[in-house]
């Protein structure tokens, strides 16, 4: 029996587009670039030879076009793993659910998703300007815990080692961090050997969860010192951003390929930041467009 999705579960707008993204099934390419900032969609699309659709709703802006003969969709997700839940489920529905019958399609269509973002670097080898691809992501967000199969796709020994190292229990562990790998095939093809391969913490906020203290003290003042010192089987934690864990986790559960690559705009170790990054992130955009 085919799975059927009623209108309360998969909301389709009157024009046949999916609820939040406002994208119609025929507009979705197999290759998808995700960016946080809606303004970054125009930057990616400025390299397209042609645009076949352009749509915007809330923080979700989408353009599908062609780059050197490759059909690519670029979508902005806004900030945070909660938005990744929306974007990934709606993209997967566009690819793998028939919007006329509301049934799962017979043949699975696999998407290739690359997130291009910005991040905070945590190590001496991640100064401002470094491109870090998230080989593993540590999700502080808890999103994946709501889906069956979470344990089968996560690196459970790594999770234990990290929690033990942090000495966290109770509220600091709720939800428990989950550790998830990006697509190895995409990393080989896109990160090649000119990007740092790292372990990324996808934090549930920009300030406290990333150890930034303004007026309110942190629950664990030693959090970032411990994160910077953590090492497990040769892996060290390289950077903070806010979406890679949910992207890698949901992609694994759904059967898609995904990876995140971010440009470092603040190095937390040496306390430097670059707010003029909007001009330089284009180098990363062009590199990903060439390799996707
Ligand atoms: C925080 O400033 C935002 O920047 C990073 C974080 O993941 C978070 O979304 O990525 P983007 O530049 O893609 O938004
Ligand atoms: N994005 C983040 O999430 N953290 C940083 O420090 C910089 C960009």
**10 burial level (CB within 10 Å; 0-12, 13-18, 19+):** middle
Two structure tokens written together for 183: 């697509």
The 3-state DSSP class for residue 58 equals coil
Question: How far is residue 155's CA from residue 158's CA, in Å, rounded to a whole number?
Answer: 5
Domains, the chain, with CATH or none: 25-291 (3.40.50.1580)
> Is the pLDDT confidence value at 292 over 90?
yes
> pLDDT at position 278, please?
79
Mean pLDDT of the chain: 97
Q: What phi and psi, each to the nearest 5 degrees, are found at residue 285?
A: -60, -50
pLDDT, tens only, 133-178: 999 999 999 999 999 999 999 999 999 999 999 999 999 988 889 9
User: Which residues does ligand 1 sit against, CB inside 6 Å?
Assistant: 35-37, 79, 117-118, 206, 241-243
User: Ligand 1 mean position to 33 CA, how many Å?
Assistant: 14
CB of 111 closer than 6 angstroms to any ligand 2 atom: no
Query: Tell me, what's the ipTM?
Result: 0.99
CA angle 129, 131, 137 (to 5 degrees): 130
pLDDT at 174: 87
Any atom of ligand 2 within 6 Å of the Cβ of 118: yes
CB-based contact 91:263 (threshold 8 Å): no
């Amino acid at each position: 029996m085919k799975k059927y999705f009623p209108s309360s579960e998969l909301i389709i707008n009157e024009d046949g587009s999916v609820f939040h993204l406002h994208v119609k099934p025929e507009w979705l390419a197999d290759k998808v670039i995700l960016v946080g900032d809606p303004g970054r969609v125009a930057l990616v699309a400025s390299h397209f030879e042609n645009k076949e659709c352009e749509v915007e709703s809330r923080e979700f802006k989408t353009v599908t076009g062609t780059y050197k003969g490759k059909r690519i969709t670029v979508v902005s997700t806004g900030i945070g793993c909660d938005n990744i839940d929306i974007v990934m489920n709606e993209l997967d529905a566009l690819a793998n659910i028939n919007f006329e019958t509301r049934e799962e399609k017979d043949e699975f269509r696999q998407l290739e998703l690359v997130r291009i973002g910005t991040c905070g670097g945590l190590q001496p080898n991640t100064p401002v300007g470094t491109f870090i691809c998230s080989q593993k992501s540590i999700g502080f967000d808890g999103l994946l815990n709501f889906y069956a199969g979470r344990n089968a796709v996560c690196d459970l020994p790594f999770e234990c080692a990290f929690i033990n190292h942090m000495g966290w229990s109770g509220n600091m562990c709720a939800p428990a961090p989950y550790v998830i790998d990006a697509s190895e095939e995409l990393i080989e093809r896109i990160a090649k050997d000119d990007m740092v391969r790292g372990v990324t913490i996808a934090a549930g906020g920009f300030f406290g969860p990333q150890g930034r203290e303004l007026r309110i003290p942190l629950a664990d003042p030693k959090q970032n010192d411990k994160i910077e010192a953590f090492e497990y089987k040769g892996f060290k934690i390289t950077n903070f951003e806010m979406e890679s864990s949910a992207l890698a986790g949901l992609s694994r559960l759904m059967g898609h390929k995904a990876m995140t690559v971010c440009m470092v705009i603040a190095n937390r170790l040496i306390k430097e930041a670059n707010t003029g990054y909007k001009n330089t992130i284009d180098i990363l955009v062009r590199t990903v467009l060439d390799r996707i």
